[in-house]
Structure 1
Amino acid sequence: MSFSQELRTESEVIFQGIFEHPYVDGLGKGDVPKGALIHYVKADFEYLNAFINIYGLAIAKSSNREDMAYFYEQIGFVLNSEVHPHNNLCRVAGVAYDDLQGYPLPPTADHYVSHMKSAAQQGSMGELLAALLPCPWTYLEIGHYLIDKYKPEPDHPFYDWITFYATEEVESITTELREKLDQWAQNVGETEKDKARQAFIKSCQLEYAFWEMAYTQEEWPFQVATK
């Protein structure tokens, strides 16, 4: 069993929790509260900006041009492709995408971003890859899970969102990240692999928490006016 498959097996309970979360299930049913859609897009826009930053740090850690080119291409995917599922949610919510950009991260999303940046800045390439991997991997499986369970037709309100994350492109991103992590794991000891394992599991936990954050429309305890 590969290292990445070991991580997936160990995180099964978290993946199942994500599939069963009312926000994710609501996407399949075609029924998510408008406020939750808006809160998700606000947070995810800034989260993906941070994801781009992590890819930049991955380029800096890369020792060959093949890896540099890969992470550079992933920056383009986030910038040019991830807008499509966001636009689907905005269309259903009846709001303009541009109006949901530039908001501060809610506590859970802020914690997730800090976790990824810490892994990228202070950890090994393996920790960086392990911290990144749960995002595309959980979304890929969510897309397939919702297609299998609800079999959405083109008139489904979240058809574009669901089918986007079940595409070969997202599967390719997940597979390549897994392969890079597995290759790294073949050349390091158990201590280094355990650090990557903890980074992966924490990101999985925070993927679940991100859905909960959006569904409950989590905010900071106090709103403080700033100049």
Structure 2
Amino acid sequence: MSTKTLTEELWAAIEPVYAEILAHPFLAGLTDGTLPREAFRHFVVQDSHYLRDYARALAVCAAKAPGEQDVRAFADDAVGALAAEQGMHAEFLTAFGGSAEEAAAEPVLPTTRAYTSYLLATVYGGSFAEALGAVLPCYWIYARVGEALLAQGSPDPLYAKWISTYGDEAFQSVVRRVLALTDRLGEELSAAERRKVVGHFVTTSRYEWMFWDAAWRGERWPV
């Protein structure tokens, strides 16, 4: 039996990935204000596509959750993911002179499609613990990134608003709740089950890096 809590084991497994995320020029551009607007727009459009499927993944987590309180919490988070897509993203898209309807008509690009396909396959096909491992990076990494970037701020009001969304206490408290559930669950898992959870967590953490990198590169379908 591992002497580490599950969250300790999970974070240790992605420390190199998280270091690469913090060092990525997309995030550096957010804090110093030099990120090209087109790269941020790419991110917002693809994030709108992503969050619709992420909300579905959270709804499946709610259906598989072991306790009534957890069912309600994940169902609320699913609604919150859709609200973020409809609210904050619509505001950003308006700033770019577009609309949420126009963004929805744009194609889901390769990294977004790969990430959401993996996410949905895992939550539908795996146990609740596996599903939790797959959805957790989107909570936890954004909380850690938001916290780190909030300390630096941004001279660009648009980027500062994005940073504040994930760095503020309301989002941080949601993440602490999910982490506490993860550790409670970890106490009941076999070594083999924990390995599965860690595997999914590492994979979707890598997709988080890829998601920012795709926006930075202006990824498109090659053919």
Give the TM-score of the pair, scaled to structure 1: 0.89
Gaps of 5+ in 2: none
- Is 1:182 the equivalent of 2:158? no
Does structure 2 retain, via aligned residues, the 8 Å contact 1:42–1:102? no
Q: Deviations over 1:24-63 (max 9, x none)?
A: 1111111222221221122111110001111121122124
SS state at 1:180 partner:
helix
1 CA distance for matches of 2:54 and 2:105?
Answer: 15
* 1:82-93 equivalence runs, <5 A: 82-87=85-90, 89-90=92-93, 93=96
Larger relative helix fraction? 2
Counterpart of 1:50 in structure 2 is 53
Gaps of 5+ in 1: 223-227
Counterpart of 2:220 in structure 1 is 219
The CA deviation at 1:82 is: 4.8
2 CA distance for matches of 1:97 and 1:145?
Answer: 29
Counterpart of 2:198 in structure 1 is 197
Task: Choose 119-128 or 101-110, whichever is displaced more.
Answer: 101-110
Counterpart of 2:77 in structure 1 is 74
2 CA distance for matches of 1:141 and 1:62?
Answer: 25
2 CA distance for matches of 1:53 and 1:63?
Answer: 18
2 CA distance for matches of 1:37 and 1:93?
Answer: 10
SS state at 2:47 partner:
helix
- Is 1:139 the equivalent of 2:142? yes
Which of 129, 133, 138 is the aligned partner of 2:132? 129
- What CA RMSD, in Å, does the superposition of the two structures yield over aligned residues? 1.9
SS state at 2:157 partner:
coil
The CA deviation at 1:92 is: 5.0
2 CA distance for matches of 1:82 and 1:144?
Answer: 21
Counterpart of 1:96 in structure 2 is 99
SS state at 1:86 partner:
helix
2 CA distance for matches of 1:152 and 1:35?
Answer: 17
1 CA distance for matches of 2:86 and 2:147?
Answer: 20
1 CA distance for matches of 2:188 and 2:56?
Answer: 26
1 CA distance for matches of 2:88 and 2:23?
Answer: 20
2 CA distance for matches of 1:217 and 1:164?
Answer: 24
SS state at 1:36 partner:
helix
Seq. identity, %? 26
Structure 1 residues 59 and 184, CA gap change in structure 2 (3 angstroms): same
Q: Deviations over 1:81-100 (max 9, x none)?
A: 45454246435534334321
Q: Deviations over 1:176-203 (max 9, x none)?
A: 2212221111112110100000000001
Counterpart of 1:25 in structure 2 is 28
